[in-house]
């Protein structure tokens, strides 16, 4: 798993659980993907996007791990056909981190359709095949090792019998593609950091953060068997990650690599990994191909073997999961919406161009007041 059902709060309502996030170059610009509500939660879990929640893409372009651009999705209750209304708003500058700011309405429509604005921004939301693949025996062995401070003990397996933990399972996907002309005016640099959050409305009129996901596999590696740490990873702001989790990650990596005997300086290696993983934000250079690799993080494509990369990095060894992208039942596509929709007719013929507020009223960073 990447972040599937990664905490007690996520398991309580899978609609609010962010399974994975992706950032990559698309046909028109930068593509942001957030997958939630995995079938892994079981048949009795509530379906659809939560109508009392917010699903947000957070972007930092100044390097301080504080968002200065937010794309916020909200959804209505499901109709008889299962479709839900949706709204997408953009919040800039200080508004990007303000739960009470309203931002600018970019589009509205319904799930299951391709929606677009006249400026070229595109949205697709709906049920799709899970693009993530993972060997269950390997992820469990890694989780135990980092919990107990031991070597990774992967049981012997017949390669022909190994299948992905998520084979045949579906998720709900939010796909947002923003053309460069719509994104760059609201960032200070082409270098950005992205993470996604879900939040649920409270009775007091506020918002309670449920899930947060930037880099893949952080929670399964370090908190698979530590619910307290898992909740803390979701509730902490990225800017506070180094101070909050630096020692924890340093110590846990150091213990595992010492047990594996891969380095003469386990603690130094642990610090290096903590520095690389924290703050837990997915970096990306706008306009470039996504590469999530052992030596470089630059976004994350739907086809990147993120589990193997993160396992190898944190254990200081080539730790294979024994699976490739072939383990995914339905391959992703090279055209929008990039994920593989779970049903035919993922959108009506043509593209729905929706009414939205004028975006050109302020192109300067931080000038929109919502």
Provide the 3-class DSSP secondary structure of residue 195. strand
Per-residue three-class SS string for 268-312: HHHHHHHHHHCCCCEEEECCCCCEECCCCEECECCCCCHHHHHHH
Taking Cα atoms as reference points, which of 29, 62, 20 lies closest to residue 288? 29
On whether the CB atoms of residues 219 and 6 are closer than 8 A, the answer is: yes
* Tens-digit pLDDT string for the chain (370 aa): 577 777 787 788 999 999 999 999 999 999 999 999 998 888 888 889 999 999 999 999 999 999 999 999 999 999 989 999 999 999 999 999 999 999 999 999 999 999 999 999 999 999 999 999 899 999 999 999 999 999 999 988 887 788 888 888 899 999 999 999 999 999 999 999 999 999 999 999 899 999 999 999 999 999 999 999 999 999 999 999 999 999 999 999 999 999 999 999 999 999 999 999 999 999 999 999 999 999 999 999 999 999 999 999 999 999 999 988 888 888 899 999 999 998 644 444 356 666 444 343 333 333 333 3
Give 192-204 pLDDT, tens digit per residue: 999 999 999 999 9
Helical packing angle, 241-260 and 136-148, nearest 10°: 100
Contact 281, 195 (CB under 8 A): yes
23 touches 191 (CB < 8 A): no
**CA–CA distance, 215 with 212 (Å, rounded to integer):** 10
- Report how far residue 34's alpha carbon sits from residue 304's, in angstroms, rounded to the nearest whole number: 15
Cβ pair 25, 290 in contact under 8 A = yes
CA separation for the pair 19, 15 (Å, rounded): 10
Using the Cα atoms of residue 27, residue 28, residue 32 and residue 38 in order, give the sign of their dihedral. Answer: negative
| Best CA proximity match to 18, nearest among 216, 310, 301, 293 | 216
CA dihedral 300, 255, 316, 227 (to 10 degrees): -20
The structure's pTM equals 0.92
**Residue 355, SS3?**
coil
Specify which residues 282 forms β-bridges with: 194
């Amino acid at each position: 798993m990447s972040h599937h059902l990664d905490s007690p709060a996520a398991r309580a309502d899978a609609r609010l659980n962010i399974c994975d996030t992706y950032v990559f170059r698309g046909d028109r610009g930068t593509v942001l993907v957030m997958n939630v509500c995995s079938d892994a939660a079981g048949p009795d879990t509530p379906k659809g996007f939560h109508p009392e929640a917010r699903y947000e893409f957070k972007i930092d372009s100044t390097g301080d791990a504080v968002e200065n651009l937010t794309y916020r999705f909200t959804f209505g209750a499901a109709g008889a056909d299962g479709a839900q209304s949706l709204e997408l708003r953009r919040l800039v500058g200080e508004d990007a981190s303000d739960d009470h700011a309203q931002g600018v309405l970019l589009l509205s429509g319904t799930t299951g359709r391709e929606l677009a604005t006249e400026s070229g921004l595109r949205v697709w939301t709906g049920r799709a095949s899970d693009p993530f693949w993972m060997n269950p025996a390997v992820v469990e062995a890694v989780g135990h090792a980092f919990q107990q401070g031991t070597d990774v003990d992967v049981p012997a397996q017949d390669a022909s019998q190994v299948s992905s933990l998520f084979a045949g399972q579906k998720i709900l996907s939010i796909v947002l593609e923003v053309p460069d002309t719509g994104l760059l005016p609201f960032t200070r640099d082409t270098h950005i950091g992205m993470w996604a959050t879900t939040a649920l409305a409270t009775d007091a009129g506020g918002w309670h953060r449920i899930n947060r996901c930037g880099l893949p596999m952080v929670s399964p590696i370090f908190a698979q068997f530590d619910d307290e740490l898992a909740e803390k990873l979701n509730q902490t702001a990225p800017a506070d990650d180094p101070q909050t989790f630096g020692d924890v990650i340093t110590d846990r990596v150091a213990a595992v690599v010492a047990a594996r005997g891969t380095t003469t300086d386990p603690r130094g290696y642990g610090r290096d990994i903590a520095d690389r993983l924290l703050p837990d934000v997915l970096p990306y250079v706008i306009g470039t191909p996504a590469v999530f690799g052992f030596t470089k993080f630059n976004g994350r494509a739907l086809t990147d073997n993120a589990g193997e990369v993160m396992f190898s990095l944190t254990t200081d060894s080539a730790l294979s999961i024994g699976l490739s992208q072939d383990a995914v039942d339905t391959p992703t596509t090279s055209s929008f919406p990039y994920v593989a929709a779970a049903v035919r007719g993922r959108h009506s013929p043509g593209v729905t161009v929706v009414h939205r507020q004028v975006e050109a009223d302020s192109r300067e960073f931080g000038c929109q007041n919502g």
